[in-house]
């Protein structure tokens, strides 16, 4: 998409930095609340939202426990993606349950134990030989559902086109931002507030870099495989996710310590070896990417306005769960902005009032 020129002075209610999944849903709900906005987004190919699979999985971890708020998030995500998809004329979300192959006898036992405690999202498919042609399944499998799969690549691109004159593709330069108590000014744009949806880049954002971010690197492969059905997500320590016709997303790694944001030979070799052990059907490597998840130390998002710079906001920190959290929390944030509705304490950045208040960011305050 070409950059939208904004030669004339433009006034909007909100200037948004970033159109990943967070900037997308925040602006969508602002638009529905009749608020005007303008988005600045640099077209980086390897942002978290562009590399993510788009899975909404109701359970997590080796103990297969329910994820935070999932009973509210699943129905909300279903409706919000369907509504946005209908406006964009795309299929934005589909149900694709996870066939969870047990990599060890211990994992099989853990699944059975968890099923006995709480079977809301777990089951055992009746046809236990169904996948024999496609996979080596020494220890059997269970099913996790309902799981949802968001079509992130079509959604982000279609929404960008839909935004038309409300987005420019360029890098936002914070040294050019001017702020007073009443107004934000950036080049020719004036706004009542600026809201950063800049993902992992927030780590270097001088207003918010004191927040306890814990960036996490993830690597993935895309493979071509003509013989695998595409109506489920398959899991065997790694996820195999239907992406496009005969193309599957494979991943991912979770690295808390890393030196760069680049794809590594070590991940590629290990993942291909795992696929060779697991798959009985041929596949071909198409691509390999890495990106950084905007994760946080306490695994809870950062939402709200800065306690000192009251017209500077943040909508970030979705970690591994951007697809399920961003629609629900964007709606909550917009209710807060428009009607003064409450933000739940777990996400509200006023919980970091002390450290944020000590962070005197002077450069951006130059007039």
Ligand X SMILES: Cc1cc2nc3c(=O)[nH]c(=O)nc-3n(C[C@H](O)[C@H](O)[C@H](O)COP(=O)(O)OP(=O)(O)OC[C@H]3O[C@@H](n4cnc5c(N)ncnc54)[C@H](O)[C@@H]3O)c2cc1C
According to CB under 6 A, which residues from 323 to 342 bind ligand X?
323-324
Residue of the chain from 58, 294, 313, 327 that contacts ligand X (CB under 6 A): 294
Q: Is 80 in the site for ligand X (CB under 6 A)?
A: no
SS3 content of the chain, % helix, strand, coil (to 5): 30, 25, 40
The distance of closest approach from Cβ of residue 12 to ligand X in the complex, given in angstroms and rounded to an integer, is 16
Q: Output DSSP code: residue 26.
A: H
Residue 204, φ and ψ in degrees, nearest 5: -110, 10
If you count them, how many residues does the chain have?
367
Q: Is 215 in the site for ligand X (CB under 6 A)?
A: no
**β pairing state of 312-316 and 189-196:** parallel
Strand, coil or helix: what is 245? Answer: coil
What the block records as the tokens of 196 is: 């950063």
The distance of closest approach from Cβ of residue 16 to ligand X in the complex, given in angstroms and rounded to an integer, is 9
Residue of the chain from 197, 221, 303, 312 that contacts ligand X (CB under 6 A): 197
Question: Closer to ligand X at the Cβ: 271 or 320?
Answer: 320
Looking at 12-20, 27-35, 88-96, 264-272, which segment touches ligand X (CB under 6 A)?
Answer: 12-20
Q: Please give the C-alpha separations between residue 98 and each of 115, 186, 230, in angstroms, as whole numbers.
A: 15, 45, 11
**β pairing state of 65-66 and 189-196:** unpaired
According to CB under 6 A, which residues from 235 to 254 bind ligand X?
251-252
Instruction: Print the binding letters for residues 23-62 with ligand X: x by CB under 6 A, - otherwise.
Output: x----------------xxx-x--xxx-xxxxx-------
Q: Is 151 in the site for ligand X (CB under 6 A)?
A: no
Q: Is 318 in the site for ligand X (CB under 6 A)?
A: yes
Helix pair 70-88, 152-163: axis angle to 10 deg: 50
Strand, coil or helix: what is 207? Answer: coil
According to CB under 6 A, which residues from 252 to 291 bind ligand X?
252, 291
Interface residue list for ligand X (CB under 6 A): 17-23, 40-42, 44, 47-49, 51-55, 171-172, 197-201, 218, 220, 251-252, 291, 293-294, 316, 318-324
């Amino acid at each position: 998409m070409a950059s939208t020129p904004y030669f004339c002075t433009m006034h909007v209610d909100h200037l948004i930095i970033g159109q990943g999944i967070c900037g997308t849903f925040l602006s969508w709900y602002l638009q529905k609340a009749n608020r005007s906005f303008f988005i600045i987004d640099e077209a980086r190919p390897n942002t978290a939202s562009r590399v993510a699979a788009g899975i909404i999985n109701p359970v997590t971890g080796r103990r297969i426990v329910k994820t935070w708020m999932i009973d509210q998030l699943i129905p909300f995500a279903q409706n919000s993606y369907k509504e946005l998809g209908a406006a964009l004329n795309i299929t934005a979300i589909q149900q694709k349950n996870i066939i969870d192959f047990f990599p060890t006898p211990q994992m099989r036992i853990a699944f059975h134990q968890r099923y006995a405690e709480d079977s809301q999202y777990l089951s055992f498919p009746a046809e236990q030989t169904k996948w024999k042609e496609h996979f080596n399944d020494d220890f059997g499998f269970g099913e996790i559902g309902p799981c949802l799969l968001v079509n992130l690549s079509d959604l982000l691109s279609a929404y960008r086109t839909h935004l038309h004159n409300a987005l420019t593709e360029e890098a936002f330069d914070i040294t050019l931002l001017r702020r007073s108590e009443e107004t934000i000014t950036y080049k020719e744009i004036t706004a009542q507030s600026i809201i950063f949806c800049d993902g992992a880049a927030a780590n270097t954002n001088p207003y918010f870099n004191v927040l306890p971010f814990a960036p996490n690197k993830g690597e993935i492969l895309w493979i071509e495989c003509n013989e695998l059905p595409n109506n489920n997500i398959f899991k065997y320590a790694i996820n195999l996710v239907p992406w496009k016709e005969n193309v599957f997303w494979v991943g991912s790694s979770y690295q808390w310590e890393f030196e760069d944001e680049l794809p590594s030979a070590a991940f590629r070799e290990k993942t291909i070896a795992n696929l060779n052990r697991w798959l009985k059907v041929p596949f071909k490597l198409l691509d390999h990417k890495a990106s950084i998840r905007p994760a946080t130390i306490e695994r809870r998002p950062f939402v709200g306005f800065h306690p000192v710079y009251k017209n500077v906001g943040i909508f970030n920190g979705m970690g591994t769960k951007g697809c399920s959290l961003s629609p629900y929390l964007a709606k909550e944030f917009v209710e807060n902005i428009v009607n003064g509705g409450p933000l739940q304490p777990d996400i509200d950045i006023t919980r970091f009032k002390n450290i944020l208040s000590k962070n005197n960011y002077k450069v951006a305050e130059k007039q």
